[in-house]
């Protein structure tokens, strides 16, 4: 980037002695500029796809028209249920929120956008102002039901609570004696249950071509299904009365117990459902038959070659016993050797400690004259701290140095040196030693 040339100051300002400059221009900094915007995107699209101006405009116009047409496509409005039209809005917990919004064909599969559009259709149709303008004298009860349905279904937490108890979304399992295609009858049941699984994706029931491993995995998954299903939606309303906290707590305890009861019952229901399906699954019989035939085949092969197998088994057993005996003897010898080594090391350690303590006593506990009880106690505590902080090898070296010297001052210097090395290594602080300080 070329440096800009600024014009010179005017004559009156250049000669003005009162003019003071309080700063200066910062140096130029190169910046990377990236092309953005619809014009650049249009240019890039034409360049990458080899289009002319007219071709690109035509194609984009077609895409825009298709987008508008897709947005204008709406689901067919379901007729209102008579129970919903006459329902008391205060009884909102008993209403089917999906049915109120006309989403019974979707239920828990309905997207947020479908819920929003369904709510808009119902509001446009049943808004009290619109009814008043048309001369209708109906109350706004159903409109309040619509608003409550939208309030519940637009909140992910409350929608999940409602979906947990939405019996209309459940698929009743067929009886064990029901005739028909097992896979078609039971697939719908397990697909409905799969929506409650915290772990996704959920394995499918499969068909007659499924392997034994796949079938076992499927039933094990549902036997141990980790369900997010909750039952807060069925809670009794907790009174919001600060003057009656006992009643509020009692209601909360009842709700908690009821939720636990519902959860237990639902777990038992799911276990029974899986048991029923497993008991009539035609693949289980096929797997058992195949396993029985394979077992019989193996038995036949064993009997046809029983003598050789017995001889091989005998030779193998003798070889294993020989190796086992050798291994036991080797382990016993090693154990004995380790025991002796440990005993020797233990005796050496005791001997070294006795030598060190004897050296402390011989040097009069590192003082001249009569050693006080405090000095004796401090010296012995310092020696015990040294024993605690050094290993057996260091103890042996320490003992050798002390044994090689007869001078009291030299011996004390050796003790002080060992204490200092312990402090340097971070195993103890200087304050931990009372007597053995440099």
* Domains of the chain: residue spans and CATH: 39-66 (no CATH), 82-168 (1.10.287.110), 175-290 (no CATH), 352-432 (1.10.8.840)
**What's the average model confidence in pLDDT over 11-39?**
72
Instruction: For residue range 357-387, list pLDDT tens digits in order.
Output: 888 888 888 777 787 888 888 888 888 888 8
Top pLDDT among 259 and 7 is at 259
Per-residue pLDDT at 352 exceeds 90: no
- Asked whether the beta carbons of 271 and 220 are under 8 A apart, the reply is no
Task: Report which of 147, 153, 73, 72 is spatially closest to residue 106, judged by C-alpha positions.
Answer: 153
Q: Residue 71 — pLDDT band, cuts 50, 70, 90?
A: very low
Helices (H), 202-244: 212-223
Tokens 């090693």, located at residue:
334
Q: Is the torsion defined by CA of 100, 104, 107, 111 positive or negative?
A: negative
Distance (Å) of CA 235 to CA 117, 151, 165, 185, 253: 30, 18, 11, 34, 10
Most confident of 7-21, 213-227, 326-340: 213-227
> Distance between CA 94 and CA 83 in Å, rounded?
11
> Distance between CA 26 and CA 3 in Å, rounded?
12
Tokens 């009539």, located at residue:
280
Q: Is the torsion defined by CA of 129, 71, 58, 41 positive or negative?
A: positive
Q: Is the torsion defined by CA of 336, 342, 348, 350 positive or negative?
A: negative
Phi, psi (deg, nearest 5) at residue 250: -65, -40
């Amino acid at each position: 980037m070329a440096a800009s040339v600024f014009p010179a100051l005017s004559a009156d300002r250049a000669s003005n002695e009162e003019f003071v400059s309080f700063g200066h221009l910062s140096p130029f900094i190169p910046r990377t500029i990236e092309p953005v915007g619809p014009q650049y995107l249009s240019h890039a699209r034409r360049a990458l796809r080899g289009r002319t101006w007219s071709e690109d405009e035509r194609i984009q116009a077609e895409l825009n028209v298709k987008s508008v047409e897709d947005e204008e496509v709406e689901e067919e409005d379901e007729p209102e249920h008579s129970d919903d039209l006459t329902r008391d809005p205060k009884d909102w917990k008993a209403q089917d929120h999906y049915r109120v919004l006309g989403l019974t064909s979707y239920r828990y599969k309905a997207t947020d956008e479908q819920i929003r559009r369904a709510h808009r259709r119902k509001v446009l149709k049943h808004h009290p102002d619109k009814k008043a303008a048309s001369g209708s004298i109906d109350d706004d009860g159903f409109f309040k039901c619509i608003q409550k349905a939208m309030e519940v279904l637009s909140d992910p937490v409350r929608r999940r609570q409602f979906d947990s108890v939405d019996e209309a979304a459940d698929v009743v399992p067929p009886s064990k004696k029901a005739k028909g295609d097992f896979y078609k009858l039971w697939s719908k049941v397990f697909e409905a249950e799969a929506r409650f699984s915290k772990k996704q994706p959920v394995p499918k029931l499969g068909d007659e071509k499924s392997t034994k491993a796949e079938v076992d995995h499927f039933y094990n998954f549902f036997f141990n299904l980790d369900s997010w299903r909750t039952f807060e939606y069925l809670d009794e309303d907790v009174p919001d009365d600060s003057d009656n906290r006992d009643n509020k707590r009692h209601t909360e305890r009842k709700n908690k117990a009821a939720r636990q009861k519902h959860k237990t019952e639902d777990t038992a229901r799911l276990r029974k459902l899986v048991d029923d399906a497993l008991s009539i699954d035609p693949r289980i019989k096929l797997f058992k038959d195949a396993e029985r035939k394979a077992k019989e085949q193996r038995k036949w092969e064993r009997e046809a070659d029983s003598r050789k197998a017995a001889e091989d088994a005998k030779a193998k057993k003798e070889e294993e016993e020989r190796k086992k005996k050798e291994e036991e003897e080797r382990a016993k010898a090693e154990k004995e050797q380790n025991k002796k080594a440990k005993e020797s090391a233990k005796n050496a350690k005791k001997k070294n400690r006795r030598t060190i303590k004897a050296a402390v006593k011989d040097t009069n506990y590192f003082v001249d004259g009569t050693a006080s009880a405090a000095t004796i106690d401090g010296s012995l505590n310092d020696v015990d701290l040294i024993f605690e902080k050094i290993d057996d090898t260091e103890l042996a070296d320490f003992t050798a140095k002390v044994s090689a010297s007869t001078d009291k001052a030299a011996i004390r210097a050796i003790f002080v040196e060992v204490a200092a090395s312990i402090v340097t290594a971070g195993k103890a602080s200087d304050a931990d030693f009372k007597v053995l300080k440099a």
